[in-house]
Amino acid sequence: MRVFLPLTLLITFGLLSTHSAAASDWSRRAKLKFEAWKAECHHAWHMNNIWPEPYIAPDRAACRAPFEVMVAQGWQEQNTLTDDHFEHDKAQLSETGRLKVADILINSPEQNRTIFVERVWEGPATEDRIREVQKFVAQRLPEAGMVQVEETIRRRPTMSGEYTDNVLRGYQASQPTPRLPGAGGSAGGSSATAGDTN
């Protein structure tokens, strides 16, 4: 019995120390989980109390984004040189093209001074036209500085002058002639009375 008692005490002490180590590990993990849960609740409480603020700036940016694209495409359409701005089957700028380039460089804001040249689908005419525009800018308007000239595949919506003239003349022809009302009205205002059955 004397031999078994120290051995029993040793085994019991070993089991208790192992159990206390496991218990302390469990309590440490439980405390960490509780702290994480408490931090998550605190974060959720703050997010609920400041709810719209974190999302206002991204929502506003998302609302403005389509308009920024539309404005950029509008400037591109406004600054596009088409076949009408070049001599027929040549890369040289016509008088209209020279005036258009000057207008872009003088009247457009600096960030929107990119000149777009509509692509010609056959031959190297597009590159020749771009070089012609760059040469014109360098010779005639050197104060404009370095201007970006790019090729575009977007077609600018155009219509013939004859069609536009016909639309305008038809609109003007359909307008009624302006007339003032006759002078036969009564002095009291309206000529019709409530009981009039004529």
In this structure, the answer to whether residues 83 and 131 fall within a common structural domain is: yes
pTM over 0.85: no
Q: Strand 149-152: give its sheet, edge to edge.
A: 80-81, 115-118, 149-152
194 part of a folded domain = no
3-state secondary structure the chain: CCCHHHHHHHHHHHHHHHHHHHHHHHHHHHHHHHHHHHHHHHHHHHHHHCCCHHHHHHHHHHHHHHHHHHHHHHHHHHCEECHHHECCCCCCECHHHHHHHHHHHHHCCHHHCCEEEECCCCCCHHHHHHHHHHHHHHHHCHHHCCCCEEEECCCCCCCCHHHHHHHHHHHHHCCCCCCCCCCCCCCCCCCCCCCCCC
Residue-level pLDDT at 68: 94
Q: How many domains does the chain contain in total?
A: 2
**Upper half-sphere CA count for residue 146 (Cβ side, 13 Å):** 0
The answer to whether 84 and 160 are in contact (CB under 8 A) is: no
Give per-residue pLDDT as tens, 11-25: 665 555 555 666 678
Instruction: Answer yes or no: is 193 within a domain.
Output: no
Residues 139 and 115 in one domain: yes
In a domain, 119, yes or no: yes
* Same-domain pairing of 83 and 148: yes
In a domain, 4, yes or no: no
Residue 53 confidence (pLDDT): 84
58 in a domain, yes or no? yes
**Across 65-84, average pLDDT:** 93
124: nearest Cα among 136, 116, 132: 132
Domain containing 115 equals 79-152
Would residue 44 count as lying in a domain? yes
Residue 25 lies in a domain: no
Do 62 and 84 lie in one domain? The reply is: no
Asked if the structure places residue 195 within a domain, the reply is no
Residues 63 and 85 in one domain: no
Cβ proximity of 104 and 113 under 8 Å: yes
Listed residues 67, 91, 125: the one ending a domain: 67
Q: Point out the domain boundary residue: 46, 67, 88.
A: 67
- % the chain with pLDDT above 70: 80
Which domain-ending residue is among 135, 152, 169?
152
Clarify whether residues 147 and 84 are in a common domain: yes
Same domain, 95 and 142: yes
* 34-48, 50-64, 140-154, range with the lowest pLDDT: 140-154
**Do 109 and 142 have their domain in common?**
yes
